[in-house]
Structure 1
Amino acid sequence: MSAAISWDPYNADLAKDPYPTYKRLREESPLYYNAEHDFYAISRFADVESTLRDKDLFSSAHGDILEFIKARSVMPDSVFIHQDPPKHTAYRALMQRIITPKRMHAVEQDIRKLCARSLDPLIGGDRLDFIANLGAEMPMRAVSMLLGIPEKDQEAIRQSVDDRIRTEAGKPIDIAAQQQLQQEALSGFDEYIAWREKNPSDDMMTELLQSEFKDPQGVTRKLTREEISNIVNVVAGAGNETTNRLIGWMGKTLSQHPDQRREVARNLALVPQTVEEVLRFEPPGPFVAREVMRDIELHGRKVPKGAVMLMLVAAANRDESRFVNGDSFNIHREARPHMTFGQGIHVCIGAPLARLEGRVALEEILKRFPDWEVDLDNAVLSSTSTVRGWDSLPAWIGSRPKNATVSIPKPAAAEAAPAPAAASGEVTLEGTWNVVVKGPTGPQPATLVLEKSGDTYTGSQSGQGSTTPIADFKLTGNKVYWVNHVTKPMKIKVEFTGELNGNVLSGKAKAGFMGSYPFTATKA
């Protein structure tokens, strides 16, 4: 007798290969209840399809993520993917006029150039990381190009998206931390919007500034700055993550099916159906949540009003009542719609872009590297409960070297530069420190002034033409921490964490969604 079925979306071990459990759920428990986290889950294709289509019975008003619905989160109206009609209808209608298949396909050659930029330097080598070399680069730059985000800031945008979806293994999303990261991201987008308002261009941000729409109250008007910021945030996040994960799954799946990969390499006309089969076989978003709006009965069991229902998209995509031999990968499979991009009013508005990027990426990979073998021993699966994919997916290009046991080597560490000499005698923290942050656009100087009263430190930090009080200063042994709420050139929280060595402070400055950068401070 087999053990009782248990499925936990936070179980990192299960995430490595959830498909045997999904199969059991479909066969033995098509309506599953998890008492620990208090949610229901459905796994059969027909159930998932009908649920996603029923906007009245299954609501998105508190989001489509388990933790958000349990917390009764309320999103701004313009975060339309987390709304029901009429709010969802109003904003999506506007976005459908802007995110069109025609606009997406107009950038195909630009996407090819981005792929070439990432892949060409690897020609002649013997290793490739599908994420570090392509998945983390091309989608981020493509969606930023469409939005009108400057190239110098694109890496910071991707890091912001990664930070917001990442969770501690085995634990739910930290809602408070998520909201803080969200606010930091939005403050950054405000600056881009203000600049683009004065410098219009042929991009989505300009079109959002100039377009009129009929809002949920029926008033025809332009979007507010806050609404544009929210929409840009949604598009940047979704545009980065889906294709990043898709590229990883293409690399892994085609490595494990070399005969099919070689067939596609010989005939690139097979690429679109190959991308579609990878999307079915390994969907980047394995499940989506809804709130149940009234008591219902399903598979002989009652589900109460207010319950959270998880639709297991990845399980539905392998349902053998829908897909013959659903657990097998077959690029010649009969074309039938899958659930990866959803169904109903919330079907993914960016699906044309994801398919285009996936197709172009696979074509450009195969043109350069028709053979590869993924190094799974050194691959790293992402720590997140909302999407499933890889943080690193290294591979050997061409033939695997004999006795190869390691993946892409880490670059040799540069010889450390001599640290500034520590002053003789004891150094007190209070006083003036000259701070230099090595940011993405070069060194950023600032002046930190510290005062001490008893065991408490206060002070201020000046830079970029403004001075602001510091907050939360802590000294633990020789470790130092403080926060600077920068106001120019944009509002952002910068956290400094470092170590004191004589008259030198050194460490990292974490600038919200823009990432972390090294800093050094010397006593004036």
Structure 2
Amino acid sequence: MTQAELVFDPFSQEYFENPFDIYRRMRDEAPIYYDANEDFYALSRHEDVSAALKDHDSFSSSRGCDLAMVKGDEPPQKSIIFMDPPEHRHMRSLLNKAFTPRAVQSQKEVIIELIDKYLAAVNPDAFDMVQDFSGPFPVEVITQMAGVPEEYRQQVRHWIDTSLSREPGQIAYSEAGMQANIDTAMYYYGLVQERRENPRDDMISRLIAAEIPNDDGTLRRLDDIEICGFATLLGGAGAETVTKLMGTAAVNFARFPDQWTKLLDDRDKIPAAVEELLRYEGPVQYNVRYTLKEATLPSGTIPAGKPVFLLIASANRDSAAFTDADTFDIDRDRTEAQNLGLGYGIHSCLGAALARMESAIALEKMLDFMPRYEVQWDGLRRVQMQNVAGFSHVPVQVLR
């Protein structure tokens, strides 16, 4: 039987439902894939993706991180993920101060309190892991750090979800997505004005007070657009990463119950479990870059001036990098290859330590709350989003 033509369409229903079969064929048949219709390239092998993530001289972030942005005529909003050095370096050094080990550790009690609150409110006989638990709590953590008042924290999550959602075949924002972006920007702009008038002990107030160097060495303050851009990014990353990771965790531990048993028997394996979740089916599927010049990679070359998908989720399933790459194994050797689940190179996730801590605490609490559980498989619903993968609905029943 003749195999169907290899088509990578990151906006298709097939891709939304299961990208991993497509990724496997790309790694084998077209590691440097080219789409003539949309004029983009895609990298699927670990050695190529990791090399591109580190080569910011060739693979620029300044045009955006998704296809519509990179191909668009308008530059994206000011945000650290849309910057190249030296501008990126100055902003990163400033923002790193918000995620020092001490700053992250100071959130531990808040995280525990929020997780306990949401788990205490669910009905063990029938609840939705995402809607009732992993959706609400992470955005509370990050927006509280930023300085968003409690009554607006969940709204931030809904704006982000609407902004990222895509119907099959839809590359650019929907009308609702555009409106969600406008609403988010307007909300944060108003909050920045409030904090300029009345500073508090929160991240937005610290960004208002901060100074970064210009190219000539003089110092300047961040403007409102830069602060709003970072607050939007922070809310989005905080709302999506752990939310999707914990929903996927419930699904994969139900599919592979022997791995859940390992955790029940030895809680010390929780950090390793978080790493394997990020590798096996992490929330970030890809980032799109733009080639500033011809780029040479282990598998070949890409011409200048092209959008390039860096398929992080494919790279993390590459059998050339990981033994039994398609096997979910929390005991695997972590030294084999770089886990790209939270990025790599200068744009690696700013809040990676916070995301890991949230996920580890959530797993610990899940082990206590639902040592034996079932997923109601017919109620599973995947998200249809650009860049991000996971579940919107994971109905669960705790077994007595």
- 2:250 and 2:257 mapped to 1: Cα distance? 11
- 1:71 and 1:178 mapped to 2: Cα distance? 16
* Structure 2 residue aligned with 1:286: 285
* 1:264 pairs with 2:263: yes
- 2:329 and 2:378 mapped to 1: Cα distance? 25
Structure number with larger C-alpha Rg:
1
Range that drifts further, 139-148 or 208-217? 208-217
Change (3 A) 1:179 1:84: farther
Instruction: State the shift of 1:335 in Å.
Output: 1.1
Instruction: State the shift of 1:183 in Å.
Output: 2.9
Quick check: 2:162–2:176 contact (8 Å CA) kept in 1? no
* Structure 1 residue aligned with 2:373: 372
Instruction: State the shift of 1:202 in Å.
Output: 2.3
- 2:27 and 2:294 mapped to 1: Cα distance? 22
Secondary structure of the structure 1 residue equivalent to 2:34: strand
Name the structure with the higher strand share.
1
Q: Write the deviation string for residues 400-459 of structure 1: whole angstroms up to 9, x where unpaired.
A: xxxxxxxxxxxxxxxxxxxxxxxxxxxxxxxxxxxxxxxxxxxxxxxxxxxxxxxxxxxx
Quick check: 2:11–2:170 contact (8 Å CA) kept in 1? yes
Instruction: State the shift of 1:122 in Å.
Output: 2.7
* 1:115 pairs with 2:115: yes
Instruction: State the shift of 1:179 in Å.
Output: 4.8
Calculate percent identity across the aligned residue pairs.
30
> Which one scores higher on RCO, CA 8 angstroms, separation ≥ 6?
2
Secondary structure of the structure 2 residue equivalent to 1:291: strand
Q: Write the deviation string for residues 203-242 of structure 1: whole angstroms up to 9, x where unpaired.
A: 2122112222224553312222332222111111111111
- 1:230 and 1:283 mapped to 2: Cα distance? 24
* Structure 1 residue aligned with 2:319: 320
Structure 1 residue runs without a partner (length 5+): 400-524
* Structure 1 residue aligned with 2:12: 11
Quick check: 2:40–2:307 contact (8 Å CA) kept in 1? yes
* Structure 1 residue aligned with 2:93: 93
* Structure 2 residue aligned with 1:74: 75
Change (3 A) 1:72 1:92: farther
Quick check: 1:90–1:216 contact (8 Å CA) kept in 2? no
- 2:296 and 2:195 mapped to 1: Cα distance? 51
- Normalised TM-score (structure 2): 0.94
- 1:11 and 1:235 mapped to 2: Cα distance? 28
Name the structure with the higher helix share.
2
**Aligned residue identity for 1:102:** R
Structure 2 residue runs without a partner (length 5+): none
Q: Write the deviation string for residues 107-151 of structure 1: whole angstroms up to 9, x where unpaired.
A: 11110110011001236x312211111121101110111111111
Instruction: State the shift of 1:74 in Å.
Output: 0.8
Quick check: 2:48–2:297 contact (8 Å CA) kept in 1? no
Change (3 A) 1:38 1:175: farther
**Cα RMSD for the two superposed structures:** 1.9
Secondary structure of the structure 1 residue equivalent to 2:277: helix
Instruction: State the shift of 1:89 in Å.
Output: 1.6
Quick check: 2:58–2:295 contact (8 Å CA) kept in 1? no
Instruction: State the shift of 1:301 in Å.
Output: 5.9
Change (3 A) 1:375 1:191: same
- 2:301 and 2:313 mapped to 1: Cα distance? 24
Instruction: State the shift of 1:97 in Å.
Output: 1.7
Secondary structure of the structure 1 residue equivalent to 2:332: coil
* 1:167 pairs with 2:166: yes
Q: Write the deviation string for residues 479-519 of structure 1: whole angstroms up to 9, x where unpaired.
A: xxxxxxxxxxxxxxxxxxxxxxxxxxxxxxxxxxxxxxxxx
- 2:343 and 2:304 mapped to 1: Cα distance? 23
* Structure 1 residue aligned with 2:245: 246
Please list every run of at least 4 consecutive aligned residues from structure 1 whose deviation after the TM superposition is greater than 6 angstroms: none
Quick check: 1:31–1:40 contact (8 Å CA) kept in 2? yes
**Aligned residue identity for 2:254:** S
Secondary structure of the structure 2 residue equivalent to 1:33: strand
- 1:388 and 1:73 mapped to 2: Cα distance? 26
* 1:190 pairs with 2:189: yes
Quick check: 1:62–1:72 contact (8 Å CA) kept in 2? no
* Structure 2 residue aligned with 1:141: 140
**Aligned residue identity for 2:339:** H
* Structure 2 residue aligned with 1:58: 59
- 1:217 and 1:383 mapped to 2: Cα distance? 44
- 1:207 and 1:234 mapped to 2: Cα distance? 16
* 1:275 pairs with 2:274: yes
Quick check: 1:274–1:331 contact (8 Å CA) kept in 2? yes
Quick check: 2:11–2:167 contact (8 Å CA) kept in 1? no
Instruction: State the shift of 1:188 in Å.
Output: 0.8
- 1:15 and 1:117 mapped to 2: Cα distance? 32
Quick check: 1:262–1:371 contact (8 Å CA) kept in 2? no
Change (3 A) 1:83 1:357: same
Secondary structure of the structure 1 residue equivalent to 2:396: strand
* Number of corresponding residues: 397
